[in-house]
Structure 1
């Protein structure tokens, strides 16, 4: 029994060795025939050339597409930077990225087709996956769509001073998903684009400086208004470069309990009204002191009622 088993094992080993030997000989023979087969090398060369041409054509299409997009948005005016140039630069970048993704994705599918890989199944799977992601990330899709329309419609741009929801500050970054705003105190406000409601953009049009000046009732209003108008007509241009035109004294705005309110209006560059207003108040205070125009201050009058039994000189008023 033992001798028979050893003989069987020996026979099996010989069979395996013979099989391996035949496989090696056939592989070597096939490799030898393949290496010296002109048809194989011709087909391999054609295959490699096709893949190379796909990559080259994709690269050319991307570069030509970028050039076409930039020429389409070329700014022909020689005036200073327009408000729409910022939006055009952003849209150019978005279109270039979209073109690059589409062209290279198509090139990858073409290369996979050259390797005899069925791309229909990949496309179908990608479509189903995209649909599932779309249903599961509706807020993300909403943010991206809102961000695209914010950029496309030029609602606001980087560097604009805006008020969005509860935040007011300077826009530092606009993305397809979020917008970042630097607040006055240094805080950074980040809001998803889908949650942006009403937007107030202070940087689109010129700003208006409204300055209310309190004068005492003892002041000659006409004379004071004339002096202040002369002062406003001669504002130094280097100090008030942001002021457009000449500020105007429009008259008495209201009568308060202890003062007459004189209103001054000036037009400034966008968002420059705050700084111009501080400088104008400082210079007006100095000018009014020099010209004897009195500012109101609280006054108190005390009456002392003469009581019964007091002498004739007992009453006193201040």
Structure 2
């Protein structure tokens, strides 16, 4: 048997004009909140990208990857904050008491913070590594016992690729001491060994002649190379030192090329590179003492 009172109540509720107007207002408010939140996020992201693009084009040359990472991080933070506020506002539009939700979220966040202190420390440290430009992707660094090229910088971890292929992964909170080799120019150091029989003044003149041709040959060299002079004296050789300022982390390649070219240059001009020698002494039958058989 159909309950006529229930049917009548349902009919009246459906035909209640005030209720539908109220529902329409709430839905319209929700749509407006969502649209406004989307517009705010888009405008904020555009402003962030615009700000970083202006810095890149300015007189200070910043690392592009660092700006991209930091820009993306700020965009995500803005989006999270705006959407969180939008969700809270929507819940308030449905007459839901948001004070209890906010209080519960605060207590939960505090509990998570105490339980994940290392994670929070890693995230905060990672943010400051990126923001302060301590090192960037592609830089050659030494962190603790690891040395290599920075492959990735995240908010929680940093990856360093060694030249032998190993990948070191550090929690950002453990990165306490960093040596960055890619910020300033490098110095290529080349030691030239000549024999004691060589004319040092002549060799210095030849080396100066050779150094005058380097900047035209190697674009990595920033300033003219210098001959510092005699660096060391040993029993078999005289060591002369050359230095050249190069672009960051180009000193290894420049030093190798300089050694090869300098060796050819000195060989063509008769400058002898020291090498071990052996002198053979023949003993005659009448000798009473035993002479040295070999001398290096």
2:37 to 42, 55, 58: 58
Taking the aligned partners of 1:77 and 1:41, their CA distance within structure 2 comes to 54
1:44 to 23, 26, 30: 23
Taking the aligned partners of 2:28 and 2:72, their CA distance within structure 1 comes to 32
User: Structure 1 stretch 263-272 or stretch 283-292: which is displaced more?
Assistant: 283-292
Question: How many corresponding residue pairs?
Answer: 293
Match of 1:248 in 2: 226
Taking the aligned partners of 1:32 and 1:246, their CA distance within structure 2 comes to 95
Match of 1:277 in 2: 255
CA deviation map 1:70-97 (0-9, x unaligned): 3333426757981355433332222211
Q: Secondary structure at the match of 2:222?
A: strand
Match of 1:222 in 2: 201
Taking the aligned partners of 1:164 and 1:202, their CA distance within structure 2 comes to 11
Residues 68 and 314 of structure 1, relative CA distance in 2, 3 Å threshold: closer
Match of 1:8 in 2: none
Taking the aligned partners of 1:176 and 1:254, their CA distance within structure 2 comes to 49
CA shift, 1:315, in A, is 5.4
For the Cα contact (< 8 Å) 1:139–1:194, is it kept in 2?
Answer: yes
CA shift, 1:244, in A, is 1.4
Match of 2:150 in 1: 171
TM-score norm. by structure 2 comes to: 0.91
CA shift, 1:45, in A, is 1.2
The higher radius of gyration belongs to 1
Q: Secondary structure at the match of 2:223?
A: strand
1:180 to 159, 176, 180: 159
**2:58 is equivalent to residue 83 of structure 1:** no
CA shift, 1:189, in A, is 0.7
1:133 to 112, 115, 127: 112
- Superposed CA RMSD: 2.4
**2:270 is equivalent to residue 292 of structure 1:** yes
For the Cα contact (< 8 Å) 2:56–2:64, is it kept in 1?
Answer: no
For the Cα contact (< 8 Å) 1:178–1:192, is it kept in 2?
Answer: yes
TM-score norm. by structure 1 comes to: 0.85
Match of 1:202 in 2: 181
Which structure 1 residue ranges, 5 or more long, are not aligned? 1-16
CA deviation map 1:289-310 (0-9, x unaligned): 111111111234578999xxx7
CA shift, 1:57, in A, is 0.9
CA deviation map 1:197-228 (0-9, x unaligned): 21010110110001111111011111111111
